[in-house]
Amino acid sequence: MSKKPAPTPTLHKVIMVGSGGVGKSALTLQFMYDEFVEDYEPTKADSYRKKVVLDGEEVQIDILDTAGQEDYAAIRDNYFRSGEGFLCVFSITEPESFDATQEFREQILRVKNAENIPFLLVGNKSDLAEKRRVPLDACRERAAAWQVPYVETSAKTRDNVDKTFMMLVKEMSRLKQGLEPEEPEVKRKNFACRQQCCGIC
């Protein structure tokens, strides 16, 4: 008797976007390999693949860690078009990187031209609380205006790293199954949080 071949796991394509130096590579490498890489080559874009179990089912996550090539509109548009879910990262210590998220958001909306795009606003470097220069309220307001979840992560301490990727992949999976985004619950969690933390605690 021949064995049935294992079903091919669903592939979810995640794109890391955000200004240089905010920790896109550090977050990606922490999620992939459980280590904090402090000096990853800043100009290097790379892609990664990881199998995870989501709601009891094995799925594959493809992560494209962008690195500045997206300054060229054609390359950027290709990246964004190929993406199915986006982690839009800034550093809570750098207001310019927070400002830049606005432009990334607009570019993604323009290229994808879809109603529901799995997208999380990610404030990284939460371990540097004493150097915080982007107020938590401003982060939450922007996420609310965009109707997306807001999360704070630390690629250094690994805080919320798995949660963030898994939350995005969950949204991507729901969308592919034709389910509504988990918006009301996400929003409730986001704004009920009284701790100076993540919004998904």
- Residues in touch with ligand GDP (CB under 6 A): 18, 20-26, 38, 40, 42, 124-125, 127-128, 154-156
* Distance in Å, CB of 59 to ligand GDP, minimum: 24
**What are the strands of the beta sheet with 46-54, ordered from one edge?**
46-54, 57-65, 10-17, 85-91, 119-124, 150-152
Decide whether 44 or 188 has the Cβ nearer to ligand GDP. 44
Closer residue to Mg ion, CB minimum distance, 67 or 193: 67
Q: How many residues does the chain have?
A: 201
Min CB(37)–ligand GDP separation in Å: 7
Distance CA 105, CA 110 (A): 9
What, of Mg ion, ligand GDP, none, does residue 135 touch, CB below 5 to 8 Å by kind?
none
Of the pair 24, 170, the CB lying nearest Mg ion is at 24
Please state the three-class secondary structure of 125-145 as a single string: CHHHHHHCCCCHHHHHHHHHH
Q: Which is nearer to Mg ion, 24 or 125 (CB)?
A: 24
- Residue 88: CB minimum distance to ligand GDP, A: 12
Q: Give the Cα separation of 119 and 88 in Å (integer).
A: 7
State the residue number with the nearest CB to ligand GDP: 23
Binding residues for Mg ion, rule: CB under 5 A, are: 24-25, 67
What is the closest distance, in whole angstroms, from the C-beta atom of residue 20 to Mg ion in the complex?
7
Per-residue burial over 112-132, b if 16 or more Cβ lie within 10 Å, else e, is: beeeebbbbbbbbbbbeeeeb
**Residue 152 CB, nearest distance to ligand GDP (Å)?**
10
Residue 26 contact, options ligand GDP, Mg ion, none, Cβ 5-8 Å cut-off depending on partner type: ligand GDP
How far apart are the C-alpha atoms of 171 and 167, rounded to whole Å?
Answer: 6
Give the C-alpha separation, 124 to 167, whole Å.
16
Judged by DSSP in three states, 151 sits in strand
CB-nearer residue toward ligand GDP: 48 or 144: 48
Select from ligand GDP, Mg ion, none the partner in contact with residue 156, using the beta carbon and a kind-dependent cut-off of 5 to 8 Å: ligand GDP
